[in-house]
Amino acid sequence: MIKRRDFIKTAAAGGLLVSPAMQVMAASGRQPFRIGACDWSIHCRGELKAFDVAREIGLDGVQVSFGGGDEKNNLRLPDVRKTYLEKAADTRVAITSLAMGVLNQTPYASDPRTEKWVEECIDAMAAMKVDIVLLAFFGNGDIKDKPDLQDEVIKRLKRVAPKAEKAGVILGVESWLNAEEHIRIVDSVASSAVKVYYDVANMTTRGYNLEKDIRQLGHDRICQVHCKENDSLLGKGKVDFTTVRDSLADINYSGWLVIEGAMENKKPVVDCHRHNLDYLRSVFNPR
């Protein structure tokens, strides 16, 4: 492992600009970030072919959808889980995490069915050795500026957190909430199994300060990161990924970077995501 001071001295002598991300990587001997994409972003929601498309793109992993039980590939079923794990092994494309986008249509804060669904997802995660699931709070499930619904979410997460802790998995809250509001939920639940799933495009859309928010949330509260743009490729939109990189380096984040959205109209999915992958590598994993 190269020492941080030696790395910086050598780089400076060669006239290289050493970013905070590179300094942290040099100091820790950390491996490059692994980069994946959501199955819905590569137009394969709940489909096994997501692994084939991800391999064609060159991605390291796929975030896999977990629904309400009526989907074609229901991960509650042992045979389906086995098929997914075999496909991941065959393609050498990992499962970055699961995602309950179904909660955007059927709100976790108010629909009684969703508590059971989250419990079933925890069982599936334990069986598949997947350690993170995204709990979505958009659309019908939006809890922004709704303190009563936020309080109900806290109550429900408190009830399920012991099961998640026992299984060794993390429930990641993704919402329109700012850092302070996310911290209120996570700290109120007070469980190592409940964290924030951070989406850089959502937070940019709301006008939040990414640098401030990422540092405020910190290493212990962010479980995974969506690298997203709306209606443009990564690097061509509103998100300042250099700031994201340096802020994540500051909190020593080393988890997955998961691409969501980031498409150009009428451009093929594979071409868009090859660009997105190359862009993230250039920013986060400079050679």
* CA separation for the pair 170, 173 (Å, rounded): 10
- pLDDT score, position 29: 53
Give CA–CA dist 280/244, Å, rounded. Answer: 11
Per the CB < 8 A criterion, the answer to whether 82 and 117 are in contact is no
Are 230 and 205 contacting, i.e. CB atoms less than 8 angstroms apart?
Answer: yes
**Among 53, 56, 58, 51, CA closest to 35:** 58
The per-residue pLDDT of the chain, averaged, comes to: 91
Going residue by residue through the chain, which has 287 residues, state the pLDDT in tens, using 9 for 90 and above. 333 334 334 333 333 344 333 444 444 455 799 999 999 999 999 999 999 999 999 999 999 999 999 999 999 999 999 999 999 999 999 999 999 999 999 999 999 999 999 999 999 999 999 999 999 999 999 999 999 999 999 999 999 999 999 999 999 999 999 999 999 999 999 999 999 999 999 999 999 999 999 999 999 999 999 999 998 999 999 999 999 999 999 999 999 999 999 999 889 999 999 999 999 999 999 87
Tens digits of per-residue pLDDT, 80-121? 999 999 999 999 999 999 999 999 999 999 999 999 999 999
Residue 90, C-beta contacts closer than 8 angstroms, at least 6 positions apart: 51
- The angle, 0 to 180 degrees and rounded to 10, between the axes of the packed helices 49-57 and 269-284 is 60
| DSSP class per residue in 218-256 | -TTTEEEEEEEESSS-TTSSS--HHHHHHHHHHTT--S-
Q: What pLDDT is stored for residue 106 in this prediction?
A: 98
Q: What is the pLDDT of residue 30?
A: 58
pLDDT of residue 266: 85
Question: How would you classify the pairing of strands 132-137 and 170-175?
Answer: parallel
CA atoms within 13 A on the CB side of 280: 28
Domains in the chain, CATH or no CATH each: 1-30 (no CATH), 31-284 (3.20.20.150)
* pLDDT for res 31: 76
**What pLDDT shows up at residue 117?**
98
85: left (phi over 0), alpha (psi -120 to 50) or beta: alpha
Q: By C-alpha distance, which of 30, 31, 23 is closest to 6?
A: 23
Q: Which pLDDT score is estimated for 181? A: 97
| Residue positions counted in the chain | 287
pLDDT of residue 21: 39
